[in-house]
Chains A and B, each alone.
Chain A
């Protein structure tokens, strides 16, 4: 069915034929009869930009590929399994996923195709580190099993963070972690100064399994860059009186039509102020459910609508440790541009993996939610792009809606290597996305 698709940021739009598939055979058929504008797999559409859209072509809905088999800590799931359901299933067995993003409304294939990182990246790496094999239908229509070391490792690693452009993943096998409870032991520490916060986060690298900081990007009553560090561990014993798994609640929802002006600097400032006051209280070893710790925003359905018709973009970059000053520069530039960020998150990254398009590298990653309608944003972000790239950093494709081809080429030096594998896996050029076209991912490295 012709459907208008957008990303979670609601700032990019295109129309495609959305085709649900029931099994791998149907995927193979679609690939073999691919139309000129190609095919792309889509999960829950939680990437922020145009990564999961394919204007004028076919977009495969993988929701029906939803088998789950658990054997010890080895978990095999269909591509369309939603993380929220998987987590429920695993917690019942004392297991948990090795890495989770800030929302549970994502598919497992989506996690692999973007090589998602979590609050434990500095300790556990990203999704790709934990996958032991994937089944994928490549551009020739062949269903293949790929592994990180033995079965076509180059194809495996090109598909991890491959943004759906090497094939349609139909199933994923990964190693779950054992957890003693469905709860977390959380310590929060407020800092009035960005440097102190960053120093504390560096130190937490060694001690804490999960670590993240929320930053006040507006500084309505306090300094810009004050922040709250939160570190956590899985809580040891089952917590008395607590449910085994977080129960789904009726979720309040943001109405469809919100005028673009709703998110003024003042209201975003007020939100940041409130967050600072409410979550900024120092707490040590407070007990929280896994759901409320990892996926706090899942409690508000469609919160992305608050940005109105123009939508939002999330700007997420990483810079190496020796360029940590870029974090402060970015916050200042965006404040000067009156581009208030609703939610600003700072994390540490540990070593990356072998996937040529994987985003994480050792250092700092900052993610900001910005209103797309701000007229100063294009110039400000273009400036920031250069600063990030000059510092040896890069931007996250799963969040991107604004970069150009040059920024990817500079940020991902192994793009050429990835292109060669992609061309081999998809010789006829069956797989396309809007992101692929915008960033000229297929074109030769030097035009």
Chain B
């Protein structure tokens, strides 16, 4: 149960090795239980080790975003072991836009994780939170969801879908005790973006994490990270297409 001061007891991270996800858990500092759901790997074990001293119980659970049939069972098992206060959906892949344009199958393969798998986990998580009558769902979207641009519109399309799902859930869950926050980070320096040229307003995982933790405490529906992106994206979304095209964003 969350405390009256916004303290969190338990967090489930879907995409258990995600650098942003692990930083979010550190920022929330759950007092009782952490569950990292992900594909077994050295990264997943390392994430568990890094969080080991934070809470009395830190578990890893096998979870593959592509194995849709297993999602219901896996999440129900985790909730069956005790309430979960916050579910963070961080599983996603960025992929390579240049490849996507020549290999549509690779593009769809990316969306099967970044949209389909993440959406499936979000819907199962939402249903379980609703049953327990309290809790918070955090969905990692992206500024790429805000307006498609040549550099990453395939990934952006998957995040747009997930973003819409999150905002829709947020409304649909009104009155159920469950809140939803859609987080839209800009360029974050993690292994996902390693080797790529940094975009303006680049940031780090701990900044995204602090903003996310605060947004959850304040029950905000949408949060940008870093915060000024809210205004930047506000402007970018409002730009007429001919001007937008001439921006050096690709």
Could you tell me the distance in whole angstroms from the C-beta of A381 to the nearest C-beta in chain B? 7
A133 and B134 alpha carbons, distance in the complex (Å): 36
CA of A49 to CA of B4, assembled, Å: 7
A57→B4 contact, CB < 8 A: no
Q: When the two chains form their complex, are residues A378 and B7 in contact, meaning their CB atoms are under 8 A apart?
A: yes
How far does the alpha carbon of A264 sit from the alpha carbon of B9 in the complex, in Å?
29
State A402–B49 Cα separation when bound (angstroms): 27
Q: With an 8 A cutoff between CB atoms, is A15 at the interface?
A: yes
- List, sorted by A's number, 11 A–B pairs whose CB atoms are closer than 8 Å: A9-B4, A12-B4, A13-B134, A14-B1, A14-B177, A56-B133, A372-B4, A378-B5, A401-B5, A402-B4, A440-B32
Could you tell me if A311 and B4 are in contact, using CB atoms closer than 8 angstroms? yes
Question: Do A4 and B175 form a contact, CB below 8 Å, given A12-B4, A50-B1?
Answer: yes
Q: Is the CB of A434 within 8 A of B1?
A: yes
Given contacts A9-B4, A381-B5, 18 further A-B contacts (CB under 8 A): A2-B176, A4-B175, A14-B1, A37-B131, A49-B4, A50-B4, A55-B1, A56-B132, A313-B5, A377-B5, A378-B3, A378-B5, A378-B7, A404-B32, A405-B32, A438-B2, A438-B9, A440-B32
Per CB-CB distance, the 10 closest pairs between chain A and chain B, nearest first, are A401-B4, A55-B133, A11-B4, A15-B177, A56-B133, A438-B1, A14-B134, A55-B134, A15-B133, A56-B132
Q: Which residues of A contact B131 (CB under 8 A)?
A: 37, 56
Identify the closest chain B residue to A49 (Cβ).
B4
Chain A, residues 1-22, CB within 8 Å of chain B (1/0): the string is: 0101001010111111000000
Contact with B along A36-55 (1 / 0, CB 8 A): 01000000000011100011
Closest chain B residue to A379 by CB distance? B5
Q: Which residues of B contact A9 (CB under 8 A)?
A: 4
C-alpha spacing A377/B217, complex, angstroms: 13
> Which residues from chain B contact A249 at a C-beta distance below 8 Å?
none
**In terms of DSSP, what is the predominant structure of the interface of chain B?**
loop
CB of A335 closer than 8 Å to a CB of B: no
Decide yes or no whether B206 CB sits under 8 A from chain A: no
**B177 in contact with A402 (CB, 8 Å):** no
CA distance A54 to B131 in the complex (A): 12
A12 and B133 within 8 A (CB): no
Given A405-B32, A438-B9, CB of A12 within 8 Å of CB of B3: yes
List, in ascending order, chain B residues with CB within 8 A of A313's CB: 4-5
At the interface, yes or no: B83 with Cβ under 8 Å from chain A? yes
Q: Which residues of B contact A48 (CB under 8 A)?
A: 4
At the interface, yes or no: B31 with Cβ under 8 Å from chain A? yes
- Report the bound CA distance from A437 to B2 in whole Å: 10
The answer to whether B133 touches A37, judged by C-beta atoms less than 8 angstroms apart, is: yes
Contact A57 B133 (CB under 8 A): yes
* Residue B56 at the chain A interface, CB threshold 8 Å: yes
Contact of B1 among A4, A57, A437, A447 (CB under 8 A): A437
Assuming the contacts A12-B2, A14-B134, A57-B133, asked whether A437 and B83 have C-beta atoms less than 8 A apart, the reply is yes
A-contact bits for B205-238, CB 8 A (1 contact / 0 none): 0000000000000000000000000000000000
Residues of A contacting B134 in the complex (Cβ-Cβ under 8 angstroms): 13-15, 55-56, 434
